[in-house]
Every structure is written in structure tokens, then in C-alpha cells.
């Protein structure tokens, strides 16, 4: 789902690394803010006194590993499953997502299986072939991407209309509440899965040292480092 060969696709010091990691993934996703962004940055979630969160089972973690590995498969570098991204996703959903986003994510795991059955003759995602899994995720990703582009175009049009009204010295148009841009995006659950896959992989040891270049820090100060076109980017430091 990307154009590379990898497949698809503060107040306290401890929050700085998480914020920087979220911003890095936002950049990887084309500048679109993370769906669970505020929760990921603050590390806070709303407690549900009526229904406590049910931990992910080993089978569910294995399922998440396969989703992540479809997004970032093994190529010249180890893939997302090798980086244990499924366990990372489960931990982040449990510890940082709001109750509503937790439900969206858990329900999304069932929806993904249902979509796989519809598309692949009754096969669940785990039963589908790697090619079938990739085709399904590419479809979900494109639907979400197309929605985001429409929302951007609508926001841009509204901004242009507003400026045009102001330049003509007309009263600013009254806004009826936030419109379609706040509506529920399609396949929100898959967007969450993709975000957590990228965040988990590129902040893991494998992602830092195999997919990127890592230099132990602190070390000597090098203001200028030679760069050859085509080289991988440098990993950030905690």
C-alpha cells in the first residue's frame, strides 16, 4: 500500500518519546492526524466502570501479528511479525485508547474477518492466502484514503469560500456545526491497525536497527553526515 518494497503499506520526559513517535507516524501517513492521536500522546484513557476491558487472547495477538505482517511483510528486512507488533498493538489499545476506540478496534477485528469471508469464499483472514489478505487490506486502505481526500477537498473549498466572502466585505457565513468532516470515516478500525503497525514497527529494535540506521547516542557530535541517495533514513533517538 506504499510505493516502497515493504508492502503496504511535554510536561514530563516520558511523554516526549511517545509524542515524537506519533508525529513520525503521522508524517509516514501523509500528514493525516492519527485517529487515536490524543490518546497515544497523553497515554490516558477513560475507564469504563460498567464493563472492564477484556485482555487480548494469544490467538487475537497472533491475528494482529498477521494483519501487521501483511502491512509490513518481510523483504530485505524482517517484517512486523518478527518485531512482535501484534503484542504492541494489543498493549496500546488496552493502555491508551478510549473506551469507544477500544470497542471500534475490537469490533473491527470481527469486521475484517467478515470482509475476508465475503471476499474469499468463506475464509477468515487467518485462513486466507497472503495474496488474498493483501488484496483485502489494499481495498480497505483505498476506501479510507479516498474518504480522507474528499474531506480535505471539502475543507479546502469551505476555506476558499470563506475567504472569498471576507474579501467582498460580506458578513462571514454562519457555520451550522461541524459538518461531514467529523462524520465517522469508513474502515476506521483499519486505520487504527495501520497506525499502530507503523508505530510499533518503527519504534521497535528491529525497525530501528534493521529498517533504519541506528547510531548509539549520546556519542560524538557530527554536525554533517555524508548521505548517499537511496540510503535508509536515520532512526530517531529516545
Residues 6+ apart with CB under 8 A from 117: 123, 124
pTM of the model: 0.67
Task: State whether residue 213 is helix, strand or coil.
Answer: strand
Residue 180, classified by CB atoms within 10 Å of its CB into exposed (0-12), middle (13-18) or buried (19+), is exposed
Banded pLDDT at 41 (limits 50, 70, 90): very low
Q: What is the pLDDT of residues 173-192, one digit of tens each?
A: 554 444 444 456 778 899 99
Helix axes 99-119, 85-96, angle to 10 degrees: 140
Centroid of chain to Cα 149: 17
DSSP 90: H
Question: What's the CA gap between 167 and 169, in Å, rounded?
Answer: 5
Q: What is the pLDDT of residues 124-162, one digit of tens each?
A: 999 999 999 999 999 999 998 888 888 888 888 888 877
Report yes or no: 165 and 136 within 8 Å, Cβ to Cβ: no
Question: SS3 sequence, 98-145?
Answer: CHHHHHHHHHHHHHHHHHHHHHCCCCCCCCCCHHHHHHHHHHHHHHHH
Amino acid at each position: 500500500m506504499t510505493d516502497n518494497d515493504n508492502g503496504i503499506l511535554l510536561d514530563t520526559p516520558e511523554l516526549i518519546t511517545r509524542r515524537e513517535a506519533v508525529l513520525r507516524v503521522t508524517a509516514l501517513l501523509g500528514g493525516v492526524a492519527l485517529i487515536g492521536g490524543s490518546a497515544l500522546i497523553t497515554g490516558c484513557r477513560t475507564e469504563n466502570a460498567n464493563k472492564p476491558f477484556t485482555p487480548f487472547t494469544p490467538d487475537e495477538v497472533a491475528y494482529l501479528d498477521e494483519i501487521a505482517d501483511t502491512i509490513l511483510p518481510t523483504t530485505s528486512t524482517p517484517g512486523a511479525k518478527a518485531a512482535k507488533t501484534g503484542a504492541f498493538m494489543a498493549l496500546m489499545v488496552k493502555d491508551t485508547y478510549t473506551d469507544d476506540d477500544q470497542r471500534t478496534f475490537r469490533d473491527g477485528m470481527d469486521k475484517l474477518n467478515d470482509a475476508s469471508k465475503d471476499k474469499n469464499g468463506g475464509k477468515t483472514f487467518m485462513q486466507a492466502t497472503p495474496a488474498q489478505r493483501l488484496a483485502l487490506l489494499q481495498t480497505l486502505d483505498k476506501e479510507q484514503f479516498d474518504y480522507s481526500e474528499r474531506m480535505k477537498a471539502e475543507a479546502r473549498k469551505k476555506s476558499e469560500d470563506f475567504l472569498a466572502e471576507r474579501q467582498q466585505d460580506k458578513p462571514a457565513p454562519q457555520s451550522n456545526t461541524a459538518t461531514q468532516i467529523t462524520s465517522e470515516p469508513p474502515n476506521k478500525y483499519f486505520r487504527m491497525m495501520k497506525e499502530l503497525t507503523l508505530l510499533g514497527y518503527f519504534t521497535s529494535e528491529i525497525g530501528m536497527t534493521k529498517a533504519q540506521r541506528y547510531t548509539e547516542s549520546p556519542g560524538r557530535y557530527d554536525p554533517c553526515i555524508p548521505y548517499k541517495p537511496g540510503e535508509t533514513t536515520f532512526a530517531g533517538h529516545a
